[in-house]
Amino acid sequence: MVDNCTTNDAMINHLLQKLPTKDMPFDGKVLHMRCCAHILNLIVKDELDIIDRSIERIRDSVIYWTALPSRVEKFEEIACEVPVNCTKKLCLDCKTRWNSTYLMLETAISYKDVFPRLNVREKNYKSLPTEEDWV
């Protein structure tokens, strides 16, 4: 089982030319099985590309509100005022790991109503996510 890399395709084709396919199950037609985890990863990455601008605005907000201890404190203060039913802290994702992007979004959406209030109180905050970003 291999991923969808073209070098793997070439290697499988090379093996099929060198090995006797008559001795293989289904005459070697199932020798190259795609890795389901890799396929799932490609699907998720394609879908995330569609909403990339929304993710960027949310990511920029998370970066802004986690960059300095004073901002974290202000964020937590406003979150208590809203109030928010979440004890998780905002966490920044690793752009190359979609599962970390999921975790970032999962936490940020809990604080959806906090960001507009912060926008009113903080003049330097420029990356307020839109209503469409949260859909």
For residues 80 and 32, state if they share a domain. Answer: no
Q: What is the mean pLDDT of the chain?
A: 85
- Pair (76, 111) in one structural domain: yes
Averaged pLDDT, 54-77: 97
Q: In this structure, is residue 110 part of a structural domain?
A: yes
Based on the domain organization, do 70 and 123 belong to the same domain? yes
How many structural domains does the chain have? 2
Q: Please indicate, yes or no, whether residues 42 and 25 belong to a single structural domain of this protein.
A: yes
Per-residue pLDDT at 67 exceeds 60: yes
Domain that holds residue 127: 51-134
Which DSSP letter does residue 123 get? T
**Pair of tokens at residue 117:** 């209030």
Confidence at residue 5, expressed as pLDDT on a 0 to 100 scale: 59
Q: Are residues 13 and 64 in the same domain?
A: no
Question: When comparing pLDDT for 19 and 47, which is higher?
Answer: 47
63/108 same-domain check: yes
Q: Is the dihedral of CA 62, 67, 71, 77 positive or negative?
A: positive
Please report whether residue 1 resides in a domain.
no
d(CA 127, CA 15): 52
> Is the distance from CB of 55 to CB of 105 less than 8 angstroms?
yes
Residue type, 125: Y
- Whether residue 71 sits in one domain with residue 127: yes
101 and 117 share one domain? yes
| 110 shares a domain with 57 | yes
| Three state DSSP letters for 67-99 | CCHHHHHHHHHHHHHCCCCCCCCCCCCCCCCHH
User: What per-residue confidence (pLDDT) applies to 1?
Assistant: 47
Residue with the larger pLDDT of the pair 15 and 56: 56
In a domain, 125, yes or no: yes
Whether 23 and 83 share a structural domain = no
pLDDT in tens, 72-119: 999 999 999 998 888 899 999 998 888 899 999 999 999 999 999 999
| pTM > 0.85: yes or no | no
Residues 77 and 98 in one domain: yes
Report pLDDT for 68.
Answer: 97
pLDDT digits (tens, 9 = 90+) for 32-52: 566 777 778 888 888 888 889
